[in-house]
Structure formats: structure tokens, C-alpha cells
A and B are shown apart, each in its own frame.
Chain A
Amino acid sequence: MSLLRELARNKVLFLMIAPALLFFTLFSYIPMVGVYYAFTNYSFEGGLFGSRFVGFDNFEFLFGSGQLATLTRNTILYNVVFIVLGNVLQLICAVFLAELPGKIFKKASQSVMFLPFFISFVLVGAFVLNLFSSENGVIPTLLTQLGLPEYDFYMHTAPWKYIIVFFHIWKGLGYGTVIYLAAIMAIGDEYYEAAKIDGANIFQRIRRITIPMLVPTFILLILLSLGGILKGQFDLFYQIIGQNGMLFESTDIIDTYVYRSLAVNFDIGMGTAAGLFQSLFGLILVLGVNYVIRRTNEDYALF
């Protein structure tokens, strides 16, 4: 038995990882029986296993809506932009923070970039309203002062895509930067020393050493995010757009749609069904991408 032999040989390693495995088994795997809710007509009398099995009925409100394709597309596009643009910006910030002289400036700006993380989406929503309101919003007022024609943001759907993307990236900037900064710190100095001796300038050093060394982290973070590509940032969308049907065309994602559908008469089965759809989609995507990466370079793969 290879497993037993492996267990005996690496006893200590298994003991070290045991608490984590136990934790995830207890708090994640055992409650997973709950996905069965998605296939039942829930009743309090029956509970999880006593409720009537209804097959895929609970998925009907998603697939029967005729909107699922649009919603899925919106959700994926938003997430792809969030993930790619967010990571690229965080990476750039980290590189600057690692290479620039000027300790105080770096420390200060690094701390400052963390501030948005603490600003709740409720407040972000309030900001947005103050900035774009047709009544005395900062930006429309500015536009008219510049002599530009009046523009009512709340009557057009187009700008909201950018507004949402902006605030999402803004909020996560400091958080993501730290990860890349830590990764840069782990790169051995010897590489840079050697490059300097070879006469490489700073741009060359970044391109040849820093960036390649950060690729695994970059890929990892993207892989980690892909699993949740159909979920997402409900608070962000809800606090900025609210119940404004005028703007749904370009700002509706699966989470907000499900929320509107079930807000009035919440159904455990249907709620679980929506989550299951999102999870399955994410799983297939991650497995696929991970497979491709594994074929290309095993070190970069997630598992």
C-alpha cells in the first residue's frame, strides 16, 4: 500500500497538515450536504432530507428566464476586467514600491492605498451618488462649468461599466499590491547583483528578473479568482446601481438578478440552485485552465 508507506515515511508532514485537513472537512465538506437543497422543495417539517425531491425544478427560474446568457456574459466580462486590470495595476504598484528610493514616501503611499479597503460599499454608494447625481453632483456640475452639454448619468447606461470597474479596482488596490510586494521580496538579491554587473538598466532588470519571477504569483492569483468568475461583488453592484432598472442593461450580473428574483419570496432551494450553477461553472473553468497550465509548465499549476 503506497498510501500507508507514504504515511509512515512522512509521518511528521502528515501530522503538520492534519489540522488543516480536519478543519476543511468539518467546516466545508460536511456542510456541503446542503447542495441537496437545490433539488428539493424545501419544507421546515422535512428539513434537508425529508423535503420532496423535485429534480431540476429549482433551476427553472434561471434557465427559463431567457436572460441567463446575457447575465453570464456580463458577469464574466466584469470579472475578467476586474481580475486582469486589477492584477496588472497591483503588480505595477508593487514594482514601483519595491524599486523606488524614498522610504517615507513609499511607506506613506503604501498605507494610503490601503484606506479604500476600509470604506464600506454603502459609503462607496454614497460617494457615487454625490459624484454623479443629476441634482448637484460634482461631476455634472463640473461638466457644465466647463461649458460642456448637460449629461445625466442616470439616464445612460454606458458610463456605469467604467464607474463600477473603477471602484472595484480602487478598493482592492492596496490589498493586492501587498501580495506582489511580498513576492518581490522573496526574489534573491543575487539575481539583481548579477544583472547590475552585466550593465542592465532598471527597466531591463524589471523585465528580465522581476516580471518573470512574479509570473507564478500572477497566474496563481488569476487561477484563484477564476473559480468565482460567476459570483461576485454583489455589494459593489447593489450599492452603486441599487434597484435602478434604467441601468440594468449593462450592469446586471447573476447575483443581482437572483437577488431581485428571490428578495420577496426567498426560497432555500432556488437560492442554493443559483449558487450551484455558479460553482459548477467556476469548477469547470478552473479545471480546464489548470489543465492547460499544467501541460505548459507544471510549476505554475494550482494543483
Chain B
Amino acid sequence: MNRKIAKRMSAFVPLTLTAALLAACSGGGSGSGLSNNGAASPSAGGNDGSSPSASAPAADSGKPDTSKKVELVWYVLGDAHQDTPKVLAEWNKRLEKDLNTTVKLNFTSWNEWQSKYNLLLASGEKVDMLFASSWADFYKYAKQGAFMDLTGLLPKYAPQTWEEVPKDDWDTATVGGKIYAVPNTNPEYTPNGIVYREDWRQELGLPEIKDLDSIEAYLDGVKKGKPGVTPIGGKAWNEVYTLFTDYYDFKVYGGESGVIASTSYDKPRDIVVYPFTSQFEEFVKRMKTWADRGFWASNTLSSQTEAGDLIKAGTGAVYWRNAPGAGGFITDVSKTNPDYKLGYFPYTRFHNYAIPTLPMANAMAVPKSAANPERSLMVLDKLRNDPTYFRLMTYGIEGTHYSIEADGKTIVTPPAGATVAKDWKNYDIASWGWRYKPNMLDQKGSWEGLKALNEEFAAEAKPNIFDPITMDYAPVKAEQAAVNQVIKQYGQPLMMGLVKDPDKALETYRSKLKAAGVDKILAYVQEQANAYFDEKGIQ
């Protein structure tokens, strides 16, 4: 059978598992939604009108030498589109003329991308640039020396980017005083929230969703009024977990896998193990009543079905999404189920503030084994800043894959006048790492609500003071491993209200956490966080 493979994997367990990871908790995906309520100082948004070219200092010290022809190897996440080779050929044609360089673009593909990513870095393979992200272990890799220090190279080889990226953004890519990546420049908000059936809410005469009680009333109303519907179908963990952290304003360290949290935005130094709080106790008791009333199924922790798929199938009523994700989902449903009316409730409304996404959530980095880091940075500089390069790589070929509205800022897909086959696929690529807001185009036909939401978030934005704390948990990794598993085994069933006796289960959970060494992790996080707060003058 797969003995050969099994053998290899046994010594490198997570490999067998990363496919599962993706399926299980949408891996980095949920991480990105849960943990980077991001760091950019809001000023980043206001800044991008500055004209960098005027002050590019590198120009006068002589252009970098490009007399040698170079082929770069780049890696991005995901898979190629069937037209990617065509687009890339076009792109390389220009690049060869301008910089005497071509790029071989490789894709990690979505299956097992974490392990492949790990291998690329660990093996020292010649890779000149790859996607990097706070949710793809950027800080850990950087601390362990996987990336090249770019501090000295940037002003010379990526002068425009060096100018236009705000200092606060560079700070999020800095570890130990050295810059290890080029963060994207696209201020955005990705708070948690739930998509729900607005049409059902109205039909059943349920209160407008604005707080926890109205959410409960909605779930209850749907359960009773719509037989055959499980309000949160499939895997309901994301919905419930994010509800917990955002309702109580816990700022959890280490994403959903952590149990250490600041008790609120306003009290960053009040760091606790949240399962030991009274809020947690209150919450799990409430969730027990929710589970007993059938708001989700007893197999929810084993299910691999997305709650969103069940909404589309007509048997679900709630779906956790971050705001842009909700936009995508609602746009999608408007095509598959035009008779539905969906609503979105962002959890930011529990406490009326929003935090921008950490710029380092999407970035490009150079592995330390790169053969041509200088040239790679030059190409990135071009890609981010030259609209021709940016559009070609990001949106495909104009006229074939898209066309531009008269306003010059909105793209239309499929392109105007094109006859489209039934299986037309939008050109797409995981372009997140090189985004530069001024060059980005809007998509026609996307959900209107997102704009209003973004305005709402921008108006109540507070600076991100949590995500830039770069911890790799190295001194406590044994304890962290033990705690991770305790959360899965005892914490999740408790939070999902599946246990028979919440009091007893809570007691077990707490004692298991203690035994796993959670206090040692607490001390570590407190020390690291406080050092950061001291440095930044946050009280």
C-alpha cells in the first residue's frame, strides 16, 4: 500500500497531516482571520499618496548592474491558472527587456503547502523569493535564520518600495533589528463576524442582530421555525470560538491554538489563561444550553463540511467569515441562490472598534539560500510599482482575462465583448504578497456592503498593539505542544457544549492545562509582551 510514503512520513509526522490541516481548521486561513486583527498603524492608509519617485535616492548612485542575464526562481502559494504560462511569458518578455531577467514562477499548490514551504526553506534549495506571512510562521522562520536580511539591500535595489512602505509597516517585518521581508501595502480590515439569513430573520419576525442575545434569539428562532435546518451546520467551531473571544474582547496570543490572552484591548498588560476566567465559565455554560437546543450537531467536531455550503444547500443559517470573506461569500451566493437575502454581523460591533490587518500578513521574502537576492528585489520593485507589470501579473492579460471600466479603476470579468465558455475561469493568482494599493483595481459586481463596512471600520480603527509582538515560543515549545493537545482534547468539546457536565469538564480542562505547563507559557508570554509594551510605551 502506501508503505513507502508512510515510512517517510512517520518521522516527519505533520506532513501526513497538512492536507488535513487545510481541511480541518482551514489552517493558516483561519489563523489569518483570527489572529491578525492586524498591525498597521492607520497612517499607512493615508500615506500612500506620497510620490516616491521624486525622492528616489538610489538613482544617482548609478543603476544596479543588470548586464548579466538572470533567471530567478519564485514561489507563491496556491496553484497556477491554466493561462499562467501565457501570462508569465508575456511578463517575462517585458522583464527581459527592462531588467535582463526572467522569473520562473513556481506554485506550492494547495495540498500540503505548509510542509513544502518548510522543506524549501530547510533544504537550502535555490529560491530567490517566496511568499511569506505572519500566518505562515514568518516570525519563527525569521528568528531561526531562514530568510535573508534585506535591510542593506532595500534602498539600493528596491528604492521605490523602500520609500513608499511606511516605517510602521517595515517594523512588522523586522525581527531583531533586521528587515526580513517586504510587506504588502494594502491597508485592510479582516475582523470576524457571521453571515446569516436575513430573509429568514424577517420572515420569522426575529430581532435584528446586534448583540449576543439577538444572535441567540436568531439561532433559536431558526431552529424552531425551520424544521430540518441546523442553524450552524457542519463544523461550527470557528463560529463559536470567535464569538467567545470577540464578545469578551479577549486578545488571544497564538491564534485559536492559544489559551493566553489579554483580557481586553484597553488592558493589554492584564494577561491571563482564559479558561481560568469567570467569563469562560459563563460562556461554556451558555454554549451547553445552545448545544442542547440543537444549534449545531453533536458530530460538529468530526464534520468536515463548511457551514457555508449548508447555507447554499438550504439547511444552514450561520457562517463565520471575516469581512472580505463575507463579501466574497455573499457575492457568490447571489449567483447560486439569487432568492436568498444574506446579512452580515461583524463582531467589531460588540466593542465598537476595529483593528487593521497586520501588513506582514502578506509579504514577499528572500530565503537565505537565494542566488540572486539583488535582482529579485529589483523585480519586486518593478512588480509593485509599475502598473503594467502589476496588472499583468495580478489580473492577467487585458482583453483576454478582463477589461477596464471607463473610470480606469474597476475591472470587469469576463472582459467586455468576450464570448465566454461555460467553464470560464477568472484569472487568479495568490498576489497577496506584492499588493500595492494605488495599483489595485476594484472588481465590478462585488458585494456593495463591504465598502460601507470598511468605512465603518476605518472610522473606529485603533492601532494594532498585539500582533507585532513576535514570539516563537522556542523556550516553552514542549509545554506549548502539550497545551495544544489539551485544548483539542478537552477545551473544544467543552466550548462546543458537548460535554455532559460543564462544571466537571471545566475542572478537568483546567487541571489538564496546569499539568501541561500552561503557567510556564503564561510567564513567557507576559515577559515578551510586556517587553514589547515597554518598548512602545503602551500601558
- Please give the residue numbers on chain A whose beta carbons come within 8 Å of chain B beta carbons, in ascending order: 34-35, 41-47, 57-58, 60-61, 64-66, 117, 122, 125-126, 129, 132-135, 152-155, 172, 175, 228, 231-232, 234-235, 238-248, 252, 255, 257-268, 270-272, 274-276, 278-279
A278 and B10 contact, Cβ closer than 8 Å, known pairs A154-B299, A245-B492: yes
28 pairs, A vs B, C-beta closer than 8 Å: A44-B145, A58-B478, A65-B485, A66-B515, A117-B1, A126-B304, A129-B304, A155-B498, A228-B10, A231-B6, A231-B10, A234-B9, A234-B17, A238-B17, A243-B237, A244-B299, A244-B302, A245-B488, A246-B498, A246-B499, A259-B16, A262-B13, A267-B477, A270-B478, A271-B11, A275-B12, A275-B13, A279-B11
Q: How far apart sit A207 and B492, CA to CA, in the bound complex (Å)?
A: 53
Q: Which residues of A contact B23 (CB under 8 A)?
A: 122
- Selected from A35, A135, A242, the residue in CB contact (under 8 A) with B297 is A135
Cβ distance B415 to chain A, nearest Cβ, rounded Å = 37
- Please give the residue numbers on chain B whose beta carbons come within 8 Å of chain A beta carbons, in ascending order: 1, 6, 9-14, 16-17, 20-21, 23-25, 114, 118, 121-122, 124, 137, 140-141, 144-146, 230, 237, 254-255, 257, 297-299, 301-304, 368, 472-474, 477-478, 480-482, 484-485, 488-493, 498-499, 515-516
Q: Judging by beta carbons under 8 Å apart, are A234 and B13 in contact?
A: yes
A275 and B17 contact, Cβ closer than 8 Å, known pairs A242-B24, A243-B488: no
Q: Judging by beta carbons under 8 Å apart, are B10 and A275 in contact?
A: yes
**Per DSSP, are chain B's interface residues mostly helix, strand or loop, or mixed?**
helix
A133 and B140 contact, Cβ closer than 8 Å, known pairs A245-B492, A271-B14, A275-B11: no
A264 and B257 contact, Cβ closer than 8 Å, known pairs A133-B297, A243-B25, A271-B14: yes
Q: Judging by beta carbons under 8 Å apart, are B17 and A263 in contact?
A: yes
The chain A residue sitting closest to B31, CB to CB, is A264
A265 and B140 contact, Cβ closer than 8 Å, known pairs A155-B298, A245-B493: yes
- Other CB < 8 Å A-B pairs besides A243-B488, A266-B14, 17 of them? A45-B368, A46-B145, A65-B485, A65-B516, A117-B1, A129-B304, A134-B298, A235-B16, A243-B24, A243-B301, A245-B491, A245-B493, A259-B20, A261-B484, A261-B485, A266-B114, A275-B13
Q: Judging by beta carbons under 8 Å apart, are B14 and A263 in contact?
A: yes
A270 and B368 contact, Cβ closer than 8 Å, known pairs A260-B489, A262-B13, A263-B484: no
Cβ distance A71 to chain B, nearest Cβ, rounded Å = 10
Q: Judging by beta carbons under 8 Å apart, are A61 and B144 in contact?
A: no
Cβ distance B231 to chain A, nearest Cβ, rounded Å = 12
The chain B residue sitting closest to A137, CB to CB, is B299
Cβ distance B17 to chain A, nearest Cβ, rounded Å = 5
A272 and B12 contact, Cβ closer than 8 Å, known pairs A243-B24, A257-B485, A265-B477: yes
Q: Which residues of B contact A43 (CB under 8 A)?
A: 144-145
Closest 5 CB pairs of A and B: A45-B145, A275-B11, A44-B146, A261-B481, A244-B301
Q: Judging by beta carbons under 8 Å apart, are A246 and B481 in contact?
A: no
Q: How far apart sit A263 and B491, CA to CA, in the bound complex (Å)?
A: 16
- Selected from A235, A244, A262, the residue in CB contact (under 8 A) with B481 is A262
Residue among A234, A235, A243 facing the most chain B CB atoms (10 A cut-off): A243
A274 and B13 contact, Cβ closer than 8 Å, known pairs A44-B368, A172-B1, A263-B21: yes
Q: Judging by beta carbons under 8 Å apart, are B144 and A255 in contact?
A: no
Cβ distance B299 to chain A, nearest Cβ, rounded Å = 4
Q: Which residues of A contact B492 (CB under 8 A)?
A: 243, 245
A61 and B1 contact, Cβ closer than 8 Å, known pairs A242-B24, A265-B140, A278-B10: no
The chain B residue sitting closest to A46, CB to CB, is B145
Cβ distance B262 to chain A, nearest Cβ, rounded Å = 19
Q: How far apart sit A73 and B478, CA to CA, in the bound complex (Å)?
A: 22
- Selected from B1, B137, B141, the residue in CB contact (under 8 A) with A175 is B1
Q: Which residues of A contact B493 (CB under 8 A)?
A: 244-246
Q: Which residues of B contact A133 (CB under 8 A)?
A: 297, 299
Q: Which residues of A contact B299 (CB under 8 A)?
A: 129, 132-135, 153-154, 244
